[in-house]
Amino acid sequence: MFKMLGDPSRLRIVIATLEGPVSVGDIAERLGLSLSLVSHHLRLLRAARLVTADRRGKQIFYMIHDQHVAHVISDMIAHVNEDAE
């Protein structure tokens, strides 16, 4: 899991999915990344079971896989923020 999150773009993508279901286009726009790069990273994150996909018509929305992953990410962010203070 941590090896997968070692890439800054993948980490930012996972953090973007913490807020709820988000489309590839929204992630790409929000993070300033190309659609193809975001899609590539999402494929890897799905294989690692860090995010899951939900198809709604022609669009696919991605969200954090489960609350265990969400807690790990949230705790990691809180820990980094503690060191910054």
Domain layout of the chain by residue ranges: 4-84
The pLDDT value given to residue 2 = 84
Answer for the pair 72, 1: CB distance below 8 angstroms, yes or no.
yes
The pLDDT value given to residue 62 = 97
Q: Is the pLDDT of residue 45 over 80?
A: yes
The pLDDT value given to residue 81 = 85
The pLDDT value given to residue 19 = 87
- Token code pair at residue 75: 């705790």
- Token code pair at residue 84: 């910054």
In CATH terms, is domain 4-84 a member of 3.40.640.10? no
pTM of the full structure? 0.87
Sheet holding 51-56: strands in order across?
22-23, 59-64, 51-56
- Compare 84 and 56 and report the one with higher pLDDT: 56
